[in-house]
Amino acid sequence: MKTLSPVLFVFALAAFGAEAPKVPVPNSPYLGVVYRFADALLEHGRDTYGPQKSGLLLSALDRAMLAPLTNRPPAPAGIREGDRVGAKSGPLVGANPQHDENLLRLLYTLSELSGQRKYRDAAEAELKWFLQNTASPATHLLPWGEHLSWNVLADEPISKEDRAMHEFFRPWMLWKKCFEMAPEASRQFALALWQHQIADQITGAFNRHAGFWKHAAADGMDFPRHAGFYIRTWAVAYAQTREGTFLKAIEVLLGRFESKRHPDTGLIESYSGQTSAWLASTLSLAIDCDGAAHDVTEPLASRLRAFAAREDSVFCGLPHDLKSRGGFVTQLEKSTAKPAGAVTPRWDARYGGYTTAQTALMCVARYENNGQTGYRELITAAADSYLESLPPEEADVWPMTFGHAISLQLAAWRATARPIYLNRARQLADRAVAAYWPEAAPPASGVGPAPQNSAKPPAALPRASLKTDHYETITGADTLALALVELHLHILHITAVHCPANTIDR
């Protein structure tokens, strides 16, 4: 190209003189719903009961009264009675931080978004009080997770029985915050996990159930995903304390699962003695191994990464049938890699099962850390399967499932820049808001926190499922709220605030 002549140059200067047309700011009504939820919980959903007013967030509430439940409402579909936050047949009056984990993560984000400390303060108060006041005197394990919670009325762990079992509900991503808030209690828990969850410290044998009140570690159902939860815990504990015990613990467990991998198929048994492999469980282990690698020294870090990379190649190489059946392979024969179970359902969440979106979000966790295009293909195929799909009318769908579907669409949008995914995320969010906050006013109003001293906000809390009417976080109200915030940030292109990855329901 040639330089313009002076005459043409002057002409070119005159060719434009005004700014380009403006496009209106897109509407994002979702944040108001989330603020009302968080504000209602902060005002009405914390433990102000019994002699010890712990400030813990209750994991179940009466939505109409915004008060603790006095009964035990019917459980959402797919939820086992023993996993709920109440004693057997008793009212649901427990606080279980593992059920509320995404809510706690969300509270930090809301403080960043709003500039108001109260959300972060509530989260930090919960972490501190829970770690410092609830650990078992004998084992130092905590009354949380799959089966335990803290009774806010009686001020004691929900289960007083000897066979009270400690089991993780999902990975705990808040260890760094915990070590900030309560370093010694956090260290003691991490140590307890080694001493009282692991039955054999040579072989790493364990059962995902361990005695809470007294030492009762057994060699049994050593689910891979639980190994990942422990490894993540110990990695942060090592980073914070530099105690060699935690490296040893990781090494032992990693070695156990390295040796479990089938030499031909690369698959790992679902638990000791089984001939099948549960893919979601080992993929979850891979996520935690890779995450843990950041906090430990070499050569262990490289071993953890290599384990995760091997899992990537196994998982991405499987014949997932997302296009025609809308689901991931769930189970395979370990020695032949022959599929041995149904594919993941889109909407049917239940204990021990994974939906398609839930599994896809594990792919998101891997993809957004390793960039492997095999995962991208799985993510977009999974997102595609939700473009036209809605739950069957009779299904008792959980908020978590909508949360996963929304976050999956957003991940596909990030990865491809195809607007169909962002649009679908909005549609699913609209439907979720209407379904779980059915009495709420249309969420088209403001995006800021509710005004102080307002009257009790009606229907601020989401219901536990489409066929229940109480609030109970075991079905993932927190995950849905996190997805709504994630969607809001995507719609308005906000990056100054960090939204936690919605990938921990695994």
Partner 1 sequence: MKSRGQTNVACFLLLVLAVAGHAADASWPDCLAVVRRYADTMIEHGRDTYGSQQSGLLLSALDRMTLAPLTVRPAPPGGIRRGDRPGRPWTAMNGANPHLEENLLRVFCTLSEITGDARYRQTADEELTWFFSHTLSATTSLLPWGEHLSWDVILDQPISGGDEAMHEFARPWVLWDRCFALAPEPSKRFALGLWEHQIANHQTGGFDRHAPYFEHGPVDGKDFPRHGAFYIGTWCYAYKHTQEDIFLKAIETILARFERKRVQKDGALVATLGPLDLEMAATMVPDPLASRLRAFAAQEDALIIAELKSQLPDRAALSETATAPRSLSTPTPPKWQNGYSSGTLASSAMFCLARHEQTGQPAYRDLLVAIADEYLNSQPEEDVDAWPLSFAQAISTEVAAHRFTQKDVYLDQARKFARLAVALFWQDNPLPRASFKTGHYETITGADSLALALLEVHAVTHSLTNRIPSNTIDR
Q: Which residues in this chain contact partner 1 in the complex, by CB under 8 A?
A: 1-4, 6, 9, 12-14, 16-26, 290-291, 293-294, 298, 301, 365, 368-371, 373, 376, 410, 413-419, 422, 490, 492-496, 498, 500-501
CB 98 within 8 A of CB 172: yes
Beta bridge partners of 198: 206
Cβ 22 to partner 1 shortest distance, Å: 7
The smaller minimum CB distance to partner 1, of residues 287 and 464, is found at 287
CB of 205 to partner 1, least distance (A): 28
Q: Of 166, 171, 147, which Cα lies nearest the Cα of 212?
A: 166
Nearest in space to 385 (alpha carbons), one of 322, 438, 293: 322
Give SS3 for 269: coil
Shorter beta-carbon distance to partner 1: residue 14 or 455: 14
Name the DSSP letter for residue 81.
G
| Minimal distance, residue 291 CB to partner 1, in Å | 5
Nearest CA among 436, 346, 324 for reference residue 391: 346
Q: How far is the CB of 234 from partner 1 (least distance, A)?
A: 15
Instruction: In angstroms, give the least distance from the CB of 42 to partner 1.
Output: 26
Of 227 and 296, nearer to partner 1 (C-beta) is 296
Least gap, CB of 321 to partner 1 (angstroms) = 22
Nearer to partner 1, 56 or 235 (CB): 235
Q: Min. distance of Cβ 262 from partner 1 in angstroms?
A: 23
Question: 154: how many CB neighbours lie within 10 A of its CB?
Answer: 16
User: Among residues 202 and 496, whose Cβ is nearest to partner 1?
Assistant: 496
Which token pair is 395?
A: 């299904």
Nearer to partner 1, 97 or 291 (CB): 291
Select 142 or 365, whichever has its Cβ closest to partner 1. Answer: 365
- Report the C-alpha gap between 77 and 276 in whole angstroms: 26
Q: Which helix (H) or strand (E) holds 61?
A: strand 60-61
Report the residue number, 245 or 416, with the smaller CB distance to partner 1: 416
- Are 250 and 234 in contact, with CB atoms under 8 Å apart? yes
Q: How far is the CB of 293 from partner 1 (least distance, A)?
A: 8
Least distance (Å) between residue 17 CB and partner 1: 6
- 316: tokens are 């991405």
**Exposed (0-12), middle (13-18) or buried (19+): which is 452, by Cβ within 10 Å?**
exposed
Contact between 340 and 352 under an 8 Å Cβ cutoff? The reply is no
In Å, how far are 70, 317, 365, 375, 431 from 380, measured between CA atoms?
A: 44, 16, 14, 9, 21
Cα gap 281→186, rounded to integer Å: 25
Output the six-digit token pair for 38. Answer: 């968080």
- Report the residue number, 6 or 273, with the smaller CB distance to partner 1: 6
Measured CA to CA, the distance from residue 100 to residue 172 in angstroms comes to 11
Sign of the CA dihedral with 360 first, then 363, 369, and 373 last = negative
